[in-house]
Chains A and B, each alone.
Chain A
Amino acid sequence: MMEQEHLIDLKDISKDFDGTTVLNHINLYVRKKEFITLLGPSGCGKTTTLRIIGGFEYPTTGTVYFEGKDITSLPPYKRRVNTVFQKYALFPHLNVQDNIAFGLKIAKTPRDEIKKRVDRMLDLVNLNGYGKRKVDQLSGGQQQRIAIARALVNEPEVLLLDEPLGALDLKLRKEMQLELKSMQQRLGITFIYVTHDQEEALTMSDTVVVMNDGKILQIGDPKRIYDEPANAFVADFIGESNILRGTMVHDELVHFSGFDFPCVDSGFGDNAPVDVVIRPEDIMIVGEDIGQIRGVIKSVLFKGVHYEMMVDCGETTFKVHSTIMQPQGSHVGLTIVPYNIHIMKPMAEEAHADA
């Protein structure tokens, strides 16, 4: 039953470029009407994954299924998938209207139907009356919308978006994030979105796929990815965190920074080395005498909503976010609630186990 829900299935996909492995045995499925984001640093293989789904690259090994059918070697023009390219790739020799109508004309859609659908698309992306403009007369944000309209007008099953907001300024990017999300919900189209911006991924997605070095590190909904990162890399990449080396004293007690802290994780084995991840906003600054550990405020940065303070606790320096400012040089205590201490297997060991 679950299998039927899968619109796209990537099975054991690998990709080599001239001997360099870009994708290393990826398995991933995409459900219908899902907003799924491939997130990772540049060079992690997220764009290659998208291009394999779009048909612009063929995997070295593995199979791509679309509604259960093998489409691995199907050329792009035969796939029911449309792409919004990174730098839009609008046709400079055509005006806005002809750019949007391009796919429909290729599909030999009747003229009046084309006109209707192009107008509807211009409406959808709030660019009414721009039909006759030349593409290079538009701003980045407008070109972005045209690129989306050009893809969506073909009513694809799946829309692939390759860092579509990368070239826009922050404010416009935030607006477009909301717009894209609402468009996706209204139209009921599956979106596969590639970005390196973790905030964008968390804001828009139903599912986030965190990738690094051609491998998938974690798949989950944004909250789960943020709250329960699978390893230190994910924790570091998603949001800010303090990542420390520590040792499990025994179940539910972890030693780091020279002290023992109660936690909620177990099953690592006594005296096992672990990575400890603590979000800066999960560390509470309390009076010097009642904290679990003591420290001195080394620096204070105003970040808008909160202050970012670096607290020197001798063995380690913690990054702490708080809305209440402590003056530099003051002595404070720090407290961490047990369930905010995330314990994970050390990265190095995991990599070793995989090899």
Chain B
Amino acid sequence: MLDLSLPWWGWLLMGAGLVGFIAMLVVSIRRNQGVKRSLFASPYTLWMIIFTVLPVILIGYYAFTDMNGNFTLDNFRNFWDSNYESNKVIMQAMGEAGAAYVSRGTVNVDTLVYSLWMAFKCTAICLIAGYPAALFMADRNMKLGPTLVVLFIIPMWMNFLLRTIAWMSLLEDSGLINSFLRKLGFDGVQLMYNSNAVLLGMVYNFLPFMVFPIYTVLNKMDFRLSEAAADLGCNSWQTLYKVVMPLSIPGVISGITMVFMPSVTTFFIPRMLGGGNTMMFGDLIESKFLVEGNWNVGSALSLIMMVLILISLSILRKADPNGEGGGIA
């Protein structure tokens, strides 16, 4: 027998949708006028309120209270000063790298800076590698274009965790690359458990999110504009930077947004490919919540990261006044 049971929130969401739909019908019949479109959004709005807005409010609440529910700014002070007891626990668990943090006393800030720096590098690599890829894919003279699009999509059919673990079997000491090198008579190379391996994993996982927004914009672009540029004296390079690039900015901005945000908050990749030697801000938050059970400090850290992301998104949006990219700030 087919199991048709749903979790409670599934019934809730569907119920809300149904209520919204009936309300819409009633209203439109009563007023004898056009359907109010906003009513279609009611289930989604409800979903957003319960699972996005409320949690954010809760994070805010936890961030500014202590274990007993009293107002405090201690959680933020904890962010600056790592000599809090709770931080020492993590740093000890990190071994040597942790000891270095202890001596500097700024594990949280360091981790944040490191995360931002890694996210920046990842975004930059994705942009520089992804833009030409998108250009090739969108070039109407390239017969390979559609094939490339499919090749980019196929890895995304696989689970994100699986893809990362697959990289491990490539990079680890007894992995494919190293055993191949040894067969050729070379020494093995330490490929995993460093920040470059983490970066590789991030770029690999997030590259499609850079390529596709740019590809979509380029693909929609009227090819006659390039022809017009050539007609007016532009060679291929001039056409690229005078016409194609400026017109693809909305795609670039969505791409940057879609790569930068998950890069900053990523936590699985560093643990797998970095092997705990490198910690990113996402890992830190995760360990506050799940390892230490300190929701207050974890919330404070989340809040700090949210604010940073909002700031960087609003800076990005300045470059794209039409607002096709982003969608959050």
Chain A contact residues, CB within 8 Å of chain B: 54-56, 75-77, 81-83, 85-87, 89-93, 102-103, 106-107, 150-151, 154
Contact = CB atoms under 8 A, between A and B. Distances in A.
B247 A76 contact: no
24 contacts: A55-B230, A76-B227, A77-B231, A77-B232, A77-B234, A83-B231, A85-B227, A85-B228, A86-B224, A87-B224, A89-B222, A89-B224, A89-B225, A91-B225, A91-B243, A93-B247, A103-B232, A106-B233, A106-B242, A107-B233, A150-B232, A151-B231, A151-B232, A154-B233
Nearest to B225: A89
Interface of B is mostly: helix
A103 B233 contact: yes
B249 to A, nearest CB: 8
Contacts, number: 59
A107 B238 CA distance: 11
Nearest to A156: B231
Contacts of A83: 227-228, 231
B221 to A, nearest CB: 10
A86 B238 CA distance: 23
Closest 9 CB pairs of A and B: A103-B232, A89-B224, A89-B228, A106-B233, A76-B230, A83-B231, A93-B246, A77-B233, A77-B230
Interface string B236-250: 001000110011000
Contacts of A85: 224, 227-228
Nearest to B247: A93
Interface residues of B, number: 17
Nearest to B239: A77
Given A75-B235, A76-B230, A91-B229, 10 more contacts: A54-B231, A56-B230, A85-B227, A85-B228, A89-B227, A90-B228, A92-B247, A102-B232, A103-B233, A106-B238
A35 to B, nearest CB: 20
Given A89-B222, A92-B247, A82 B227 contact: no
Nearest to B226: A89
B164 to A, nearest CB: 39
B232 A82 contact: yes
A75 B229 CA distance: 12
Contacts of A92: 247
Given A89-B222, A91-B243, A93-B246, A106 B234 contact: yes
Nearest to B227: A56
A77 B224 contact: no
Interface of B: 222, 224-225, 227-235, 238, 242-243, 246-247
Contacts of B233: 77, 103, 106-107, 154
A275 B243 CA distance: 53
Contacts of B231: 54, 56, 76-77, 81-83, 151
A67 B242 CA distance: 31
B238 to A, nearest CB: 6
A151 B224 CA distance: 14
Contacts of A107: 233
Residue in B224, B238, B246 with the greatest tally of chain A CB atoms within 10 Å: B224
A85 B227 CA distance: 9
Contacts of B230: 55-56, 75-77
A91 to B, nearest CB: 6
A194 to B, nearest CB: 14
Contact of B228 (A75, A81, A91, A93): A91
Contacts of A54: 231
Contacts of A77: 230-235
Contacts of B246: 93
B146 to A, nearest CB: 16
Nearest to B233: A106
A93 B241 CA distance: 12
A302 B113 CA distance: 81
A114 B247 CA distance: 24
Nearest to A81: B231
A83 B224 CA distance: 11
B206 to A, nearest CB: 27
Contacts of B229: 91, 102
Contacts of A91: 225, 228-229, 243, 247
Nearest to A87: B224
Contacts of B225: 89, 91
